């Protein structure tokens, strides 16, 4: 049978989609692209915002439109927190919770078996032999019906205390591999539903993480992205016995600060920094990228040790959410702007060409004009490379949903546009520093116009061509005062032919040196020399 996956939301969801795909492949199923009709569609849903939930519902309905006879499965965070709501969507056949993803093949096969047996029991046109089979199958159907609800397979996530392993996942369609190191979150920010969708913090055994990365490296993957629901909490749930086992296994002594709740992101004997030090030793991996982290993790000791790991990417995503201390308190973010600024300074002291990105919510309940101005001024002061700006929308089941002084939508829109303009301006100014310089780019894909695309270690996107093709056609972009208007005449594409597929294959999983010649909107643009690429192959 053919299976198609649709993954929405965060990198953790992407990892879990890869893991489910591998489970199906191992059982003989065929994974197909969106352009091919599938027998089973699995939508790995997201619940982080109301927009994400709406998109999840849309994808479930569109999947059925692709093949009205297909089985439609909803999995993921939205399925976990809103199973009754999804059950009302007539196109959905099966709803699978977060924990149940690990046994999704077995769950689906149980469901298919139940449906076939049920269909057989209702068939009035069976011959004598088929009737005998029908009779013998009655007991099996009764057993299956007792075993599970036909449509909903979801357990109580809050009762999960251990990380659920699903074997070593090496399936990936990307030039970089996403590696899940933990699940769950115990921060309980007032606007967020995710702790209820993912449960408490559960850290993955470091041995399994390292095994998985080594297996990924054998496939030629050079960059790994460590992800989870709250990776800064990695290891906080390890008890003393586990900590001592891991420290002994990886050559650490027993001189460490035991975990304490007051310093819950920087205390403990086997935390994120110990894990990173071990991953850094894997020879074939050239880049280690971190998912979203927060300032409470960024201590002097952490940054000092981190800066000694040559494979750590000089890009950190520190989720701020607001630059106003009063707004941060209402959000229950557990840090001040002063602490946040100190974390940024520490990172900049130790990493060259550092890129800092962040998330910002505008229009949080009670956000006054003065608080927004505080946020705007703080963002200018920090000089983030890029800000992901979200307009607050009340999430059912959260504390913030019931807060007074909800902000009008038109005000949210104005504040959002102002921050996006600031973000774009900051991105352009930072990118201009690289014009005329060489940067190392990990190749990702080739676009329809024949341009290669990839990212630097600090995650800046670069578009490039081979030197001979680019000669005399690349120029510095003139940036207008209005940051939303760019000079699109960076590259003369008139008669350029797409590079052949065998050329593209030579770049797969390669890190190449690219000479930056200008900007194309918010991206860098340049060229590389083929012989340099081939030398690295």
Confidence class of residue 536 from pLDDT cuts 50, 70 and 90? very low
Q: Which two tokens stand for residue 260?
A: 């304490």
User: What whole-number percentage of the chain has pLDDT above 70?
Assistant: 85
**Three-state secondary structure call for residue 279:** helix
Please tell me whether residues 356 and 407 are part of one structural domain.
yes
Residue 470 is predicted with a pLDDT of 58
Per-residue pLDDT of 187-199, as tens digits, reads 999 999 999 999 9
Vertex 297: Cα angle to 293 and 300 (nearest 5): 130
Residue 174 is predicted with a pLDDT of 76
Q: How far apart are CA 367 and CA 403, in angstroms?
A: 11
Domain around 530: 438-536
Please tell me whether residues 201 and 240 are part of one structural domain.
yes
Q: Which residue has the tokens 């009302």?
A: 88
pLDDT of residue 488 exceeding 80: no
Exposed (0-12), middle (13-18) or buried (19+): which is 334, by Cβ within 10 Å? middle
Per-residue pLDDT of 308-367, as tens digits, reads 999 999 999 999 999 999 999 999 999 999 999 999 999 999 999 999 999 999 999 999
Please tell me whether residues 262 and 275 are part of one structural domain.
yes
Per-residue pLDDT of 18-58, as tens digits, reads 999 999 999 999 999 999 999 999 999 999 999 999 999 99
Give the end of a domain, one of 119, 140, 155: 155
Give, in order, the Cα–Cα distances in Å from 416 to each of 232, 376, 392: 28, 11, 10
Give the end of a domain, one of 395, 430, 465: 430
Please tell me whether residues 274 and 370 are part of one structural domain.
yes
Residue 329 is predicted with a pLDDT of 98
Contacts for 295-300 with beta carbons within 8 Å, 24 or more apart?
Answer: 295/335, 295/339, 295/340, 295/342, 295/343, 296/232, 296/264, 296/265, 296/266, 296/334, 296/335, 296/339, 297/232, 297/265, 297/266, 297/272, 298/342, 298/343, 298/346, 298/347, 299/266, 299/346, 300/346
Confidence class of residue 463 from pLDDT cuts 50, 70 and 90? very high
Among candidate residues 91, 31, 22, the one with its CA nearest the CA of residue 56: 91
Residue 93 is predicted with a pLDDT of 95
Residue 491 is predicted with a pLDDT of 34
Average pLDDT over residues 409-430: 98
Please tell me whether residues 33 and 170 are part of one structural domain.
no
Q: How far apart are CA 404 and CA 372, in angstroms?
A: 17
CATH assignment at residue 220 = 3.80.30.20
Residue 469 is predicted with a pLDDT of 64
pLDDT of residue 399 exceeding 70: yes
Residue 150 is predicted with a pLDDT of 63
CATH assignment at residue 54 = 3.40.50.12160
Please tell me whether residues 516 and 380 are part of one structural domain.
no
Q: How far apart are CA 81 and CA 52, in angstroms?
A: 13
497: region left, alpha or beta (phi > 0 left; psi from -120 to 50 alpha): beta
Please tell me whether residues 85 and 204 are part of one structural domain.
no
Partners of residue 312 on adjacent β-strands: 288
Average pLDDT over residues 205-218: 96
Give, in order, the Cα–Cα distances in Å from 336 to each of 321, 323, 328, 333, 382: 11, 9, 7, 8, 14
Q: How many domains is the chain partitioned into structurally? A: 3
Average pLDDT over residues 431-460: 94
Partners of residue 6 on adjacent β-strands: 43
Partners of residue 96 on adjacent β-strands: 153
Q: Please, which residues have CB within 8 angstroms of residue 142's CB and are 6 or more apart in sequence?
A: none
Per-residue pLDDT of 110-150, as tens digits, reads 899 888 776 665 555 545 454 445 455 555 555 555 555 56
Please tell me whether residues 283 and 396 are part of one structural domain.
yes
Average pLDDT over residues 207-235: 96
Statement: the pTM of the whole predicted model exceeds 0.75: yes
Give the end of a domain, one of 378, 408, 430: 430
Q: Which residue has the tokens 């310089």?
A: 437
Please tell me whether residues 104 and 120 are part of one structural domain.
yes
Residues in the chain: 537
Please tell me whether residues 98 and 182 are part of one structural domain.
no
Cβ 69 vs Cβ 63: under 8 Å:
no
Among candidate residues 65, 164, 66, 63, the one with its CA nearest the CA of residue 74: 63
**Three-state secondary structure call for residue 413:** helix
Please tell me whether residues 456 and 421 are part of one structural domain.
no
Please tell me whether residues 262 and 138 are part of one structural domain.
no
Average pLDDT over residues 71-77: 97
Q: Please, which residues have CB within 8 angstroms of residue 293's CB and are 6 or more apart in sequence?
A: 231, 232, 316, 317, 318, 319
Average pLDDT over residues 284-290: 96
- Max Cα–Cα distance, the chain, nearest Å: 82
Residue 148 is predicted with a pLDDT of 54
Q: How far apart are CA 529 and CA 533, in angstroms?
A: 7
Q: Which residue has the tokens 């006054």?
A: 368
């Amino acid at each position: 049978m053919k299976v198609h996956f649709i993954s929405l939301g965060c990198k953790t969801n992407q990892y879990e989609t890869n893991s489910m795909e591998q489970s199906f492949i191992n059982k003989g199923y065929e994974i197909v692209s969106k352009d091919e009709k599938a027998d089973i569609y699995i939508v790995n849903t997201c619940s982080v915002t109301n927009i994400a939930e709406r998109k999840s519902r849309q994808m479930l309905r569109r999947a059925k439109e692709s093949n009205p006879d297909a089985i439609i499965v909803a999995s993921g965070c939205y399925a976990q927190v809103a199973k009754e709501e999804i059950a009302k969507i007539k196109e959905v056949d099966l709803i699978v919770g977060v924990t149940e993803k690990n046994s999704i093949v077995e769950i689906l096969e149980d469901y298919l078996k139940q449906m076939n047996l049920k269909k057989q029991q209702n068939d009035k046109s069976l011959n004598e032999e088929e009737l005998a089979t029908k009779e013998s199958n009655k007991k099996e159907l009764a057993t299956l019906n007792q075993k599970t609800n036909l449509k909903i397979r979801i357990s109580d996530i809050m009762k999960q205390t251990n990380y659920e392993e699903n074997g070593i996942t090496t399936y990936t369609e990307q030039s970089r591999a996403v590696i899940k190191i933990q699940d769950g979150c115990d921060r309980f920010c007032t606007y967020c539903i995710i702790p209820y969708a993912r449960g408490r913090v559960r850290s993955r055994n470091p041995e399994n993480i390292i095994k998985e990365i080594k297996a990924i490296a054998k496939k030629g993957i050079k960059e790994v992205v460590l992800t989870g629901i709250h990776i800064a909490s990695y290891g906080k749930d390890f008890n003393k016995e586990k900590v001592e086992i891991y420290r002994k296994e990886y050559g650490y002594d027993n001189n460490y600060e035991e975990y304490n709740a007051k310093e819950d992101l920087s205390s403990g004997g086997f935390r994120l920094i110990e894990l990173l030090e071990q991953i850094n030793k894997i020879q074939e991996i050239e880049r280690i990228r971190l998912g979203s982290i927060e300032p409470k993790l960024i201590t002097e000791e952490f940054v000092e040790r981190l800066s000694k790991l040559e494979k750590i990417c000089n890009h950190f995503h520190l989720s701020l959410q607001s630059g106003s201390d009063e707004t941060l308190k209402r959000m229950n973010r557990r840090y001040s702007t002063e602490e946040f600024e100190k974390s940024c300074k520490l990172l900049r002291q130790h990493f060259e060409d550092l890129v800092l990105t962040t998330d910002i919510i505008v229009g949080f309940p009670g956000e006054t004009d003065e608080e927004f101005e505080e946020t705007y001024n703080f963002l200018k002061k920090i000089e983030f490379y890029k800000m992901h700006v979200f307009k607050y929308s009340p999430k059912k089941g959260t504390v913030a949903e019931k807060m007074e002084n909800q902000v009008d939508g038109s005000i949210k829109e104005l504040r959002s546009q102002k921050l996006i303009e600031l973000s774009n301006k900051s991105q352009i100014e930072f990118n201009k520093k690289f014009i005329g310089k060489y940067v190392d780019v990990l190749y990702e894909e080739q676009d329809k116009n024949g341009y290669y695309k990839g990212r630097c270690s600090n995650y800046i996107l670069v578009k490039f061509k081979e030197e001979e093709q680019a000669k005399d056609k690349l120029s510095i972009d003139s940036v207008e005062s209005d940051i939303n208007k760019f000079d699109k005449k960076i590259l003369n594409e008139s008669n350029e032919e797409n590079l052949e597929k065998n050329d593209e294959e030579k770049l797969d999983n390669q890190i190449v040196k690219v000479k930056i010649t200008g900007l194309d909107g918010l991206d860098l643009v340049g060229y590389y020399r083929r012989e340099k690429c081939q030398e690295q192959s």
